Structure 1
């Protein structure tokens, strides 16, 4: 049963995401195992948010600006480390990788992302 808090959160989630994992898959005909991209979840409602974090150094080299990318989605979905997450929001699509452990809350989870640079 979805709570009223969760329904209110989902009204703010204007994006969709697909989650992929790189794993060994056995061909049922040849029985050869090869690594492939496998879809774990499709069309999950989500919200992608960005936050700029700036820090100044003591050496006088200037400020360093880092952008933190965070994905909010339902906490019932398992998003393993190292997976690729394709997010479509506001007409733009981009690939990200899960960079850390999710912050799990009563009605949702928040995952800090990095830009996806390819499978390791």
Structure 2
């Protein structure tokens, strides 16, 4: 493969995606019974192919009740989708589930985009 062939490079990169993600954003939702509007998470993207990579080494926190391991991750995904900062993103990959929140703006390339995620516990 020759560099500068965006379609071929994108196809090669996307062939490495082993995960599927679901993206939720907080939106105003009107309750049909009470008529009140409140913010609720709404799925805006489901089962989107992606790749998840660990960004930092995990740090363990020990408490009286449990041990927690937290880490940041990078999401690799199509440049065609738009994911807003603050969106909640759940990734299923290699038998694990990662729940995170987008931390900042996506960095876009012609072949993909990279989104930094911060793990969200108990989400």
The normalised TM-score by structure 2 is 0.76
Change (3 A) 1:9 1:31: same
Shift of the alpha carbon at 1:117? 4.3
Match of 1:95 in 2: 99
Of the three residues 21, 25, 33, the one matched with 1:21 is 25
Cα deviations by residue, 1:52-109 (Å, 9 ceiling, x for unpaired): 36xxxxxxxxxxxx95410000011111111100000001012100002111000110
> After TM superposition, what 4+ stretches of structure 1 lie above 6 angstroms from structure 2?
none
Match of 1:44 in 2: 48
Of the three residues 3, 7, 16, the one matched with 1:3 is 7
Unaligned 5+ segments in structure 2 are: 1-5, 58-69
Alignment size in residue pairs:
106
Give runs of aligned pairs for residues 39-118 of structure 1, distance below 5 A: 39-52=43-56, 68-117=72-121
Change (3 A) 1:28 1:48: same
Of the three residues 31, 34, 38, the one matched with 2:38 is 34
Give the Cα–Cα distance (whole angstroms) in 2 for the partners of residues 89 and 10 of structure 1: 14
Give the Cα–Cα distance (whole angstroms) in 2 for the partners of residues 81 and 39 of structure 1: 15
8 Å contact from structure 2 (residues 28, 39) kept in 1: yes
8 Å contact from structure 2 (residues 71, 118) kept in 1: no
- Where 1:8 maps in the other structure, the secondary structure is helix
